[in-house]
Amino acid sequence: MQGWSFERKIQVTQLRILEWYEKWGGKVYISFSGGKDSTVLLDLARRMYPDVPAVFCDTGLEYPEIREFVKSKDNVEWLRPMRYNKSTKSWEPTNFKEVIKTEGYPLISKEVSRHIHDVRKLGNDCFAAKMFTGERGQYDISKYKFLISAPFDISNKCCTIMKKNPFHVYEKESDRKPIIATMASESRQRRTQWLRDGCNSFDGKISSKPISFWTDQDVLRYIKTFNIKYATVYGDIVEDERGRLLTTGENRTGCMFCMYGCHLEKEPNKFQRMKISHPKQYDYCIRSVDDNGLGLGEILDYIGVPYK
């Protein structure tokens, strides 16, 4: 499907959106991050259903250009990060600094962070511990075993608290079903999820991912072909010497301070670029916790990722 023609991909995506919209009687929404992928999805959906609402979660971790771009869109509902308080049995607002303080830093990947958190909580005899010895799992993550004894907490809870929880609450209150702009080409986990659920999942974890079989090249081509406005943080869309499309600014946005995958980036990596493009945010995230920052400098030093 990733090898289909551009025109066929658009047609099939529109069919998936149609199926989803009709199934739920129009009680759907677009999960809108302000990034280029969800911008394309929003355009595709609103060409068919102009009144479909978009929902944006303002985590405080977005690039300033992303937030400004979201403000330019009509019919967007803004959510805030929240966590469930078991004592009061209610949802309460939170922020990234509070999350890393109580849960730990998101590091390497969601999978690795989860296993490290589990080993620390359950001990070396748990299933997660075997993932770091090569005894279990499809992929060898033994090279990250040293992080189990790191002098700081690590977990995968950040995304759940900062993004997933607000949308779950919204869906329950509005009775709307999500249309999400994730693509199988983005990660091993998302590819696995697509192979299991397909574009439209009507059972279990209910969600529609109608551009799952697209690639980053398809997204950039759609923006250029239909002259779609997008967040300025991406810069211009240009062709390289091989005819492939690329952005002159950031290629992916997401959360500014997220460290997932940063160890794989070539220099200048996201933090080095941030130092130049967004010095205020850079200073806040690198500065130590004792100095009222997020303390990412110490974490990046520990895993050997340059940021200066």
Structural domains in the chain plus CATH codes: 6-94+158-247 (3.40.50.620), 107-155 (no CATH), 256-308 (no CATH)
Is residue 99 within 8 Å of residue 82, measured between CB atoms?
Answer: no
DSSP E strands in 166-291: the ranges are 177-179, 200-201, 207-208, 237-239, 245-247, 259-260
Gyration radius of the chain over CA positions? 20
Residue 221's identity, in one-letter code, is: R
Token duo for residue 147: 């992080």
Per-residue pLDDT of the chain (308 residues; tens, 9 = 90+): 999 999 999 999 999 999 999 999 999 999 999 999 999 999 999 999 999 999 999 999 999 999 999 999 999 999 999 999 999 999 999 999 999 999 999 999 999 999 999 999 998 888 888 888 866 656 678 899 999 999 999 999 999 999 999 999 999 999 999 999 999 988 888 888 888 889 999 987 899 999 999 999 999 999 999 999 999 999 999 999 999 999 999 998 989 999 999 999 999 999 999 999 999 999 999 999 999 999 999 999 999 999 99
Question: Alpha-carbon distance 68 to 144, whole Å?
Answer: 38
* Other C-beta atoms lying within 10 Å of the C-beta of residue 9: 21
- The residue whose two tokens read 């919209």 is 21
| Full-model pTM | 0.91
Per-residue confidence (pLDDT) for residue 137, from 0 to 100: 56
User: What's the pLDDT tens digit per position in 190-226?
Assistant: 888 888 889 999 987 899 999 999 999 999 999 999 9
Is residue 179 within 8 Å of residue 20, measured between CB atoms?
Answer: yes
